[in-house]
Amino acid sequence: MRVAFQGAAGSFSEAMSRVWYPDALRMACRTFDDAFARVEGGEADAAVIPLENSLTGRIGPATERLMASPLHIMREGTLKIEHCLIAQEGACLEDIRRIYGHPEALAQCRLYLERLGRETISWWDGAGAVQEVRADPSSALVGNAGIAASGGLAVLAHTIQDYTDNYTRFVALSREEASPTGRDKTTISFTLSHRPGSLVRALAVFDAHGINLTRLSSMPVREEPWSYAFIADFEGHADDAPVKGALSELSEVCAKVRFHGSYPRMVG
């Protein structure tokens, strides 16, 4: 099993990949595009991708890439995220002048970082900034405690995220589709024509087929300024008769519908 993930060794995405695929060959990727492309091109069998955080919401670049990909969601799960401030051994908080972190990590720790008042540098991954911190005693990074242990660094502060209960929802993506389990969820995206009531008509389809819509959010369509696509999660599998009927009807009332997978639903 070959599994791609965005980030460096020690990232939360790698941690989630170890939960799901403990014996896999892991492929660290610098960007979400790289991780998706590894699976799309056959170099990897699955990609572990973060889609949503309980503090900051949808992870835009990952969601946007999902909406353009032929890959299917195979499973979903959550990981509790505890961010730490990590620097060289022997460093003091007063010595720190700049802090590296993934944009999502910096956003999840916004209140702490604003109080600290240091320069923040958006980096492709917190774990990927280890070399920068090793080379500069006035630098630190935001990441999980494991980075300090594996990178020869030290934790200056634990649990620096804005709220203790901080969770990220991950999905595993594959070229294959998951079989029905009887407790499934489906993810689609769709666009609408600019006509009065078009969103109402689309949402009415779920009600007409007795489908529980569990999440709905919008994303800008980059190539069409001020146009938006919607991404929806709902209960049921694409092989279930109500879902089949709903997808067929949605294709008639929406400008475009894309299927992103049916997969076992998280419980709880």
Characterize 129-161 residue by residue with b for buried, 16 or more Cβ atoms within 10 angstroms of its Cβ, and e for exposed.
bbeebeeebebbbbbbebbbeebebbbbbeebb
CATH of domain 2-81+166-174: 3.40.190.10
CATH of domain 185-262: 3.30.70.260
Q: Are 16 and 170 in contact (CB under 8 A)?
A: yes
Point out the residues that are catalytic.
Answer: 168, 170
Average of per-residue pLDDT across 26-50: 97
Strand runs labelled E in the chain: 2-6, 25-29, 46-53, 57-58, 72-80, 84-87, 98-101, 119-122, 139-143, 154-157, 167-174, 184-191, 213-220, 228-235, 256-264
Q: What is the pLDDT of residues 219-233, one digit of tens each?
A: 998 888 888 999 999
CATH of domain 84-157: 3.40.190.10
CA distances from 75 to 17, 78, 214 (A): 12, 11, 16
Domain boundaries, the chain: 2-81+166-174, 84-157, 185-262
Q: What is the pLDDT of residues 87-97, one digit of tens each?
A: 999 999 999 99
Do 185-262 and 84-157 have the same topology in CATH? Answer: no
Tokens, residue 75 = 């499973």
Examine the pLDDT at 51 and tell me if it is beyond 80: yes
Examine the pLDDT at 268 and tell me if it is beyond 60: no
Q: What is the pLDDT of residues 148-180, one digit of tens each?
A: 888 899 999 999 999 999 999 999 999 999 999
